[in-house]
């Protein structure tokens, strides 16, 4: 099994100046020797600031989104080439907020995943169900649909560069995380589906949990062998809480 991965999604928080201050505080708490891969995904405007501050560490940089095109008359869009030039090695795609607030569908997300991979960027593909879908027993079918369409025409070799983040929409930013049993069940389903569909072994792909992850529930979440890390939202904005989540992942893996 691969090392756990902890990715911090800052969403639309922190200016470049605030990002520098955050990083200064966080690096005093961060243990480079931990057996954890760490990724930070600040707003586009703070990518350059973080890249300059992270180049002496093993912490990777991610963009929160990317265009489905390399270039063009697309005002406001940012291409994979641009984020790669800023030092990104990961990109978050298909986040529930992009799906919900910006109308991104599986076909568009699939195009973004393929383009990101063509530029050696590692996609973190987000999937997850709404509360009504969980309550009506549709969780697995919703996730299967998102994966089959979002990863359409993906090869087994490409799949090894993709990280899946299970983020139940009803748990994002609500403070109501899925239970360990709930998350484990869905992660196991995703892993089995990937093995059957793309012929990729469960050990070669990481499936993260995202949805109100915090220092209080991280230890219990990481006890599950099906959970290979976390996509952290609100808790990653505080250096101390983000460092504690990383420590929990390390202790669960040694």
Which residue do the tokens 């403070």 mark?
Answer: 175
Task: Give the pLDDT score at 19.
Answer: 98
Share of the chain above pLDDT 70, in %: 100
Reported as a pLDDT band with limits 50, 70 and 90, residue 225 is very high
Task: Give the pLDDT score at 1.
Answer: 66
pTM above 0.95?
yes
pLDDT (tens digit per residue) in 13-45: 999 999 999 999 999 999 999 999 999 999 999
Active-site annotation, residues: 95, 167
What average pLDDT does the structure give for the chain? 96
Residue 9 has pLDDT above 90, yes or no: yes
Name the residue ranges covered by the structural domains of the chain: 5-253
Task: Give the pLDDT score at 177.
Answer: 77
Average pLDDT of the residues in 141-155: 98
- The CATH class of 5-253 is alpha beta
Instruction: Give the chain as a 3 state SS string.
Output: CCCCEEEEECCCCCCHHHHHHHHHHHHCCCCCCCCCEEEEECCHHHHHHHHHHHCCCCCEEEECCCCCCCCCCCCCCCCHHHHHHCCCCEEEECCHHHHHHHCCCHHHHHHHHHHHHHCCCEEEEEECCCHHHHHCCCHHHHHHHHHHHHCCCCCHHHHCCCEEEECCHHHCCCCCCCCHHHHHHHHHHHHHHHHHHHCCCHHHCCEEECCCCCHHHHHHHCCCCCCCEEEECHHHHCHHHHHHHHHHHHHHHC
pLDDT (tens digit per residue) in 84-123: 999 999 999 999 999 999 999 999 999 999 999 999 999 9
Average pLDDT of the residues in 41-64: 97
Task: Give the pLDDT score at 2.
Answer: 84
Average pLDDT of the residues in 160-185: 90
Token readout for 171 is 């748990």
Average pLDDT of the residues in 174-203: 93
């Amino acid at each position: 099994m691969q090392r756990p991965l902890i990715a911090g999604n800052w969403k639309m928080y922190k200016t470049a100046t605030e990002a520098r201050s955050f990083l200064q505080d966080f690096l005093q708490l961060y243990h480079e020797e931990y057996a954890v891969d760490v990724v930070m995904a600040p707003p586009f405007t703070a990518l350059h600031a973080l890249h300059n501050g992270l180049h002496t560490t093993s912490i990777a940089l991610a963009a929160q989104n990317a265009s489905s095109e390399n270039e063009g008359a697309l005002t406001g869009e940012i291409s994979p080439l641009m984020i790669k030039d800023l030092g990104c090695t990961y990109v978050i795609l298909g986040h529930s907020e992009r799906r919900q607030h910006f109308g991104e569908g599986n076909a568009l997300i699939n195009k973004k995943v393929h383009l990101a991979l063509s530029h050696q960027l590692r996609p973190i593909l987000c999937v997850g169900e709404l509360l009504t879908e969980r309550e009506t027993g549709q969780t697995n079918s919703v996730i299967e649909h998102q994966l089959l369409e979002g990863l359409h025409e993906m090869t087994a070799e490409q799949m090894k560069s993709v990280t899946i983040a299970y983020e139940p929409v009803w748990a994002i930013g609500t403070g109501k995380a899925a239970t360990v049993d709930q998350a484990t069940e869905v992660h196991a389903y995703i892993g089995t589906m990937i093995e059957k569909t793309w012929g990729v072994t469960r050990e070669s792909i990481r499936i993260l949990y995202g949805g109100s992850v915090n220092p209080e529930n991280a230890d219990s979440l990481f006890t599950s062998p099906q959970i290979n890390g976390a996509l952290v939202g609100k808790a990653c904005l505080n250096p101390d809480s983000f460092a504690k989540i990383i420590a929990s992942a390390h202790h669960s893996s040694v």
